[in-house]
Chains A and B, each alone.
Chain A
Amino acid sequence: DTEVTQTPKHLVMGMTNKKSLKCEQHMGHRAMYWYKQKAKKPPELMFVYSYEKLSINESVPSRFSPECPNSSLLNLHLHALQPEDSALYLCASSQAPPGYSNQPQHFGDGTRLSIL
C-alpha cells in the first residue's frame, strides 16, 4: 500500500475543461513533487515544493498550475490541455532539507490522464 494517495486514478477530459489532480501524504514530508510520465519513458520532473513554497518549475506550460495549500496536500490544476498532455501524472514526497537530502522519495500510484 502506498503512503502517497492520488485521486482520481483515471481522468478523461476535453481540451476546454478545467480539472484538478490531488495528492495527499501524512508522513510529515515537507517536499512534494509532480512528475509526468509518457508510455515507455521515465518520469519527468515538473514541479517541486519545499515547505509549501514552489522551489522548482521545470519550464512547464502555464496550462498546468500547481498548488500546495498545506503540508499534506498537493494539487495540480489543469486547464486547456492538449492531447499530447495525456500521460500518467505521478506525485511523490520526501523529507525536506536541511539534513534530509539523503532520504528516499515515496511515490503515489498516479493519475492516468486522457485528453480528448
Chain B
Amino acid sequence: KQEVTQIPAALSVPEGENLVLNCSFTDSAIYNLQWFRQDPGKGLTSLLLIQSSQREQTSGRLNASLDKSSGRSTLYIAASQPGDSATYLCAVRAAVRRGSTLGRLYFGRGTQLTVWP
C-alpha cells in the first residue's frame, strides 16, 4: 500500500527565509504528485502538479522537484512571507488497485508552516 510521509511536521520561520518541505512515498508506480495548500478550516488549493515523467515544476516563488525512483519530492519556497502560513500537503496519484486505470490520491500528514514578520 502506498504511504506518503512529510517532514517536518511543523516549521516556524521569520519572513524572508528560503524553505524546503520534504515528501517521500513508498511505491514509485505513480501517475503524478501534487502539492496542496490548506488554510485553517478551508479546502485544498492545488499549488503544483508534477507528472511522473517530469523532474520539476515552478510557479512564482514555488518550485517542486520529483525523483520518482527514490520516492522523493521537495517543495521549495523562496523568500517566504507571512501570507505563506498554512498547511502544505503532498499527495501522490496512483492506481486505486493493481491493474486499474482509475487513480486516487494518497496524502501525507502535511507540514504546518508559520512565517512570522
- A112 to B43: give the CA distance in the assembly, Å: 10
- A66 proximal to B (CB < 8 A): no
B49 & A101 in contact (Cβ 8 Å cutoff): no
Inter-subunit contact B109/A48 (CB<8 Å): no
Q: B93 contacts which chain A residues (CB < 8 A)?
A: 101-102, 105
* A contacts with B, residue count (CB < 8 A): 31
B101:A98 contact, CB within 8 angstroms: yes
Using known A-B contacts A42-B110, A45-B104, A97-B102, determine if residue A55 contacts B34 with beta carbons closer than 8 Å.
no
Interface size on B, residues (CB 8 A): 28
Chain B residues, CB < 8 A from A55: 96, 102
Could you say which of A2, A41, A105 contacts B105, with CB atoms under 8 Å apart? A105
State whether the Cβ of A52 lies closer than 8 Å to any Cβ in chain B: no
Taking CB atoms and an 8 Å cut-off, the chain B residues in 33-53 that contact chain A are 34, 36, 41-46, 49, 51-52
Q: A86 to nearest B CB, angstroms?
A: 13
